[in-house]
Structure 1
Amino acid sequence: MTADSGIRPLDAVAVPAGVRTVRQWWTLTSRGLLKVLRNGEFVFAFIAPAFLAVCFYLPLRKVMDAGGMNYGQFLMPIILLQAMSFAATSAAMRSAFDVSRGINTRFRVLPMPEWVPLLARSATNLALLLVSMVCGVVACLIIGWRADGGIWGTVTLLGITLVIGLLLALLSDGLGLVAGSPEATSQILGLPTMILGMVSTGFVPEARFPDWIQPFARNQPISQFVNVMRVADSRESLSWSVAAPTVYWCIGIGIVALMTLTAGTRKARTR
């Protein structure tokens, strides 16, 4: 093309690489959000914590309240954590579906940075986590929970909940990539989530467990998360001795999540 032809060369009007990457991220994020909407995951995000609250609050409320406990207040952390867990499970299933249908393989042949699909999935997961957390808060308010920690205590409580949810979503996303099939993913996530949730201090106090299992119920990650959330939602000061186990568990989950995401990405390259 001559200089005086009046037409600019193609590379002169090309979209800058940074703008193109942002557009790719937004396109994939929009795709993920539409998929979540079509699959009814936003509806499930509302139903799941409400169903959990009803199933445990109604049968156990009179027993727990008879001992001087406000069971709605006591149950709040585990309802929020279970809401985060449901959202994380959805993240794993979506990731596994993409692998099983070869979508990630198609992404690799496109002129797109390798980390863009991960960021798009993370943005979708964050949106679902926020919806799940709001729905969990509404369910807790209905059964009688009230924010006793004031503004900053409530902000801390919700911040802890969201951080844990994001870490679980990253871990689940990596597990979905590694498993490669929705069926295997559901098996990997289902049993540990059920065991840790039920054998925790989220539903009943530690003293209600048999003596031989109390150390496990007290020190496992769900119970530690529940403990720090209850302190944040009270008038007590959140000390390092209370927060440290949760911080260490979060670091551990983050490391495992990074390992699974790395392994899943490497596995995808060999397909």
Structure 2
Amino acid sequence: MSTPAATALFAELPEVHPNSFAQWRALTGRIVYTMATKGELIVAVLFPLVITVAFYLPLRYVMQVQGIDYAQYVMPIIVLQTMAMTMMSNAQLAAFEALTGLSTRLQTMPIGALVPLMSRICAGMVRSTVSLAATIGYGFMIGFRFTGGLPQALAFCGFALAVGVVLTLGADALGSLTKNPEALSQALTLPILIFGMLSTGFVPEAAFPSWARAFARNQPISQFAQTLSDMAAGQLSWAGSWVSLVWIGGAAVLFLPLAVWASVRRS
């Protein structure tokens, strides 16, 4: 008895049409579900509280003596620190998927080449949105206010999330390339501390030694913090924001191709 031809054997099965959107939805849902069940979203809510208390309480009286409303002043850098948390979480996720072979396995399946990357970035956006909402809530508790109206408040949130996405792209690329979650976390902590502490988001430029002021004033975190501060105060202008846009645009041009290449390459 002859074996039926493969075409006849599977003739009654429906033709498969891979759907990248459905694949993205499934993979993103998997990551978000894991974040919800493993307590990562709870951490995303509690971490901004720790950062707010740690940054606001030690310096509020010193700044008050200098006539600075420190809740209003420090809030942008707190927001940027919470975006950095998302960056580190996505880096660890990408490294874990590469380490365990999941990324390689997905490459052998009929899945869109960019679907795994986009699912990680979108899941990171969920985490960033939760953290940002919590951070703004804690900011209101210590006296932070949006005094520039709803449009600039929305611009504040949009710009913060844009910074988070760009940083996440770079971190995702590093995670996919290194395949080492623990070492990657340690490696990212140092630049976050350096750029955060040596920025004008914590203290005014005049508080730095003269030799460090140029760096503190012009480095990207200081520029991002100033732009966010202007948005919160309703003082957003092209003259005050173009440097931040150049920084974020340049980082996007660098990190996006790197993240795509790191995600689709076959090891």
Fold similarity call, TM over 0.5: yes
**How high is the TM-score relative to the length of structure 1?**
0.90
Partners of 1:43 and 1:197 in 2: how far apart?
24
Q: Conserved in 1, the CA contact under 8 Å of 2:52 and 2:78?
A: yes
Aligned positions of 1:110-149 closer than 5 A: 110-149=109-148
2:145 paired with 1:161:
no
- Name the structure 1 match of 2:258: 260
Q: Note the C-alpha offset of 1:263.
A: 4.2
Q: Which moved more, 1:35-44 or 1:104-113?
A: 35-44
Unaligned 5+ runs, structure 2: 5-9
2:243 counterpart residue number:
245
Matching of residue 99 in structure 1 with residue 98 in structure 2: yes
The question of 1:269 aligning with 2:263 is answered: no
CA distance, structure 1, for counterparts of residue 37 and residue 177 of structure 2 = 25
- TM-score normalized by the length of structure 2: 0.92
Structure 1's unaligned 5+ residue stretches are 2-7
Which residue of 2 is the match for residue 227 of structure 1?
226
Secondary structure of the structure 2 residue equivalent to 1:269: coil
Q: Share of identical aligned residues, percent?
A: 37
Q: Residue 180 of structure 2 aligns with which residue?
A: 181
CA contact (8 A) 1:217 1:223 kept: yes
In structure 2, the CA distance between the partners of 1:262 and 1:152, relative to structure 1 (3 Å rule), is closer
Three-state SS of the structure 1 residue aligned to 2:90 is: helix
SS at match of 2:147: coil
Q: Distance in 2 between matches of 1:208 and 1:159?
A: 30
Residues 178 and 263 of structure 1 are in contact (CA less than 8 Å); yes or no, is this contact kept in structure 2? no
1:213 aligned residue: 212
Tell me by how many angstroms 1:259 deviates: 3.9
Cα distance in 1 between the residues matched to 2:260 and 2:28: 21
- Letter of the 1:261 partner, please give it: A
Is 1:14 aligned to residue 15 of structure 2? yes
1:225 Cα offset (Å): 0.2
Native 8 Å contact 1:178 1:260 kept in 2: no
CA distance in 1 between partners of 2:234 and 2:46 (Å):
31
How far apart are 1:117 and its partner, in Å?
0.8
Pairs aligned (count) = 259
What letter matches 2:78 in structure 1? I
- Return the letter of the residue paired with 1:14: E
Deviation, structure 1 residue 30? 1.3
Q: Secondary structure at the residue paired with 2:15?
A: coil
Is the CA contact 1:157–1:232 (under 8 Å) kept in the aligned structure 2? yes
Quick one: which amino acid aligns to residue 64 of structure 1?
M
Helix, strand or coil at the partner of 2:143: coil
CA distance in 2, matches of 1:254, 1:21: 24
Deviations 1:204-242 (A, max 9, x none): 111111111010000000000011111111132x22221
Residue identity in the other structure for 1:260: L
Q: Deviations over 1:141-163 (max 9, x none)?
A: 11110111111111111111111
The reply on whether 1:152 has 2:151 as its aligned counterpart is yes
Offset of 1:44 from its aligned partner? 1.4
Kindly indicate whether residue 192 of structure 2 is the aligned counterpart of residue 196 of structure 1: no
What is the CA deviation profile of residues 148-207 of structure 1, one whole-angstrom value per residue up to 9, with x for unaligned ones? Answer: 111111111111111111111111111111111102311331111110001101111111
Tell me by how many angstroms 1:256 deviates. 2.2
Provide the residue aligned with 1:55 in structure 2. 54
Q: Is the 8 A contact 2:129 2:161 kept in 1?
A: yes
1:15, CA displacement in angstroms?
4.2
SS of corresponding position for 2:109: coil
